[in-house]
């Protein structure tokens, strides 16, 4: 009885904080009791996803070891020459099971199937697949994720001279997915603006909107993948980012999208049990691109509804800095024929300078938490302003 009371007390507390404090200027269509029901459903979905992933990962790791699905250390740097420094620093990780993203996608498929079963039984009213809230989110998630599952497979099997899909093949698929997402918002939803609140209101781009969002998706789709270079780094940062977006979507009563985000957070937390240093498994490319396909779509949805661009830039700042260090390294190499940094991206430079890997990760998590707090304050300022 006490546990049940504590569970409901926690639910009430979270609902009051998110709905009545952070989003108090909004007008809600549901009563507090109805919102509590939605919140409890979200918590139950996320708890089930967490325990499912937590139970499957040890079995999955054993299976990956059995098929010799180990990590292949990158041999070439982004500037073209052999990555001797990277290979030396990370040689001990060679052979660690990878392709963790396969289980990521599998758990989401299972949770979608469970939602259909629960709707069929009359326990819930909606599945996790909703035209208004999650169609384009799940498309971005699975379309990019499935391609990079194939890339992961080629990587661990050492197919071809570059050990993975060619850059041309991956770019073609990214172009197709980015084009679909941009066209969906422009043609299907009639969105032609970017919302830069609180510094500016809607800036209409008209026909240039799908072009700009297309290049945004193509340009930033690699950010998560580049940052995923240390045990627990990208996973921890993405967990914090997704939590901020969970608060925003719950406050705007998009409960189906909120549930999908909660499932992603739950699986990420379960994955972190086995990914923190020393990592027993790596996500590799599949999860990075699946998550960015999801995030890009969610970013455009929230931009359409309330203007999340500025808060998103804040919470994504560490990823932006990391990818900027890589771009700067490439430009410097091509312009001056020498490297600006001994190694890039930035987190590997800190590692090269002697900072222990767990220290880099923990400091990055703390910085991400501070950025998350600033982003939440920015969201509150936009709503109340």
Of 44-58, 85-99, 281-295, which gets the smallest average pLDDT? Answer: 85-99
Structure tokens at 39: 């919140």
In this prediction, residue 160 carries a pLDDT of 43
Residues 111, 263: contact at Cβ < 8 Å?
Answer: yes
Average the pLDDT over 23-44 and give the result.
73
pTM of the model as a whole: 0.82
3-state SS assignment for residue 349: helix
Residues 194, 205: contact at Cβ < 8 Å?
Answer: yes
Average the pLDDT over 307-317 and give the result.
84
The total number of structural domains in the chain stands at 1
For the chain, the average pLDDT equals 77
Nearest to 45 by CA among 90, 136, 107, 120: 107
For 343, how many CA atoms within 13 A lie in the half-sphere containing its CB?
21
In this prediction, residue 368 carries a pLDDT of 94
Binned at pLDDT 50, 70 and 90, residue 223 comes out as confident
Average the pLDDT over 260-279 and give the result.
88
List b or e across 19-52, with b for residues whose CB sees 16 or more CB atoms inside 10 angstroms.
beebbeeeeeeeeeeebbebbebbbebbebbbeb
In this prediction, residue 161 carries a pLDDT of 42
d(CA 150, CA 165): 8
In this prediction, residue 107 carries a pLDDT of 92
Of 70-79, 135-144, 245-254, which gets the smallest average pLDDT? Answer: 70-79
- Please determine, for residue 43, whether its predicted confidence score (pLDDT) is greater than 90: yes
Binned at pLDDT 50, 70 and 90, residue 167 comes out as low
- Please determine, for residue 150, whether its predicted confidence score (pLDDT) is greater than 90: no
Average the pLDDT over 54-75 and give the result.
76
Residues 151, 165: contact at Cβ < 8 Å?
Answer: yes
Domain range for 354: 2-384
In this prediction, residue 49 carries a pLDDT of 95
Nearest to 263 by CA among 51, 16, 55, 56: 51
Q: 222 or 300: whose pLDDT is higher?
A: 300
């Amino acid at each position: 009885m006490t546990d049940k009371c504590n569970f409901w007390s926690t639910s009430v507390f979270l609902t009051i904080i998110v709905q009545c404090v952070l989003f108090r200027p909004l007008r809600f269509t549901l009563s507090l009791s109805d919102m509590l029901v939605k919140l409890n459903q979200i918590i139950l979905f996320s708890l089930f996803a967490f325990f499912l992933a937590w139970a499957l990962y040890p079995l999955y790791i054993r299976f990956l070891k059995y098929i010799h699905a180990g990590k292949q250390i990158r041999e070439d740097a982004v500037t073209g020459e052999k990555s001797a420094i990277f290979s030396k620093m990370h040689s001990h990780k060679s052979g660690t099971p990878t392709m963790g993203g396969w289980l990521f996608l599998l758990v989401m498929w299972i949770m979608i199937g469970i939602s259909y079963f629960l709707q069929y039984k009359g326990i819930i009213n909606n599945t996790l697949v909703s035209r208004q809230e999650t169609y384009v989110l799940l498309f971005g998630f699975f379309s990019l994720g499935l391609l990079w599952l194939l890339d992961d497979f080629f990587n661990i099997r050492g197919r071809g001279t570059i050990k993975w899909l060619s850059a041309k093949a991956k770019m073609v698929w990214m172009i197709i997915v980015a084009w679909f997402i941009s066209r969906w918002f422009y043609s299907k939803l009639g969105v032609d603006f970017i919302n830069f609140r609180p510094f500016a209101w809607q800036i209409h781009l008209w026909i240039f909107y799908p072009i700009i969002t297309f290049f945004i998706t193509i340009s930033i789709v690699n950010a998560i993948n580049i940052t995923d270079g240390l045990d627990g780094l990208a996973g921890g940062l993405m967990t914090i980012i997704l939590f901020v977006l969970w608060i925003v979507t719950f406050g705007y009563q998009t409960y189906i999208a909120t549930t999908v985000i909660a499932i992603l957070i739950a699986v990420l937390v379960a994955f972190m049990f086995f990914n923190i240093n020393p990592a027993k498994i790596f996500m590799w490319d599949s999860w990075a691109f699946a998550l960015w396909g999801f995030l890009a779509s969610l970013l455009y949805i929230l931009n359409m509804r309330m203007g999340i661009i500025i808060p998103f830039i804040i919470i994504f700042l560490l990823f932006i800095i990391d990818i900027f260090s890589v771009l700067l390294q490439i430009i410097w190499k091509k312009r001056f024929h020498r490297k600006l940094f001994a190694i890039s991206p930035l987190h590997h430079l800190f590692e090269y300078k002697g900072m222990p890997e767990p220290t880099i990760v923990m400091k990055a998590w703390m910085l991400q938490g501070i950025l998350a707090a600033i982003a939440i304050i920015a969201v509150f300022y936009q709503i109340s302003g």
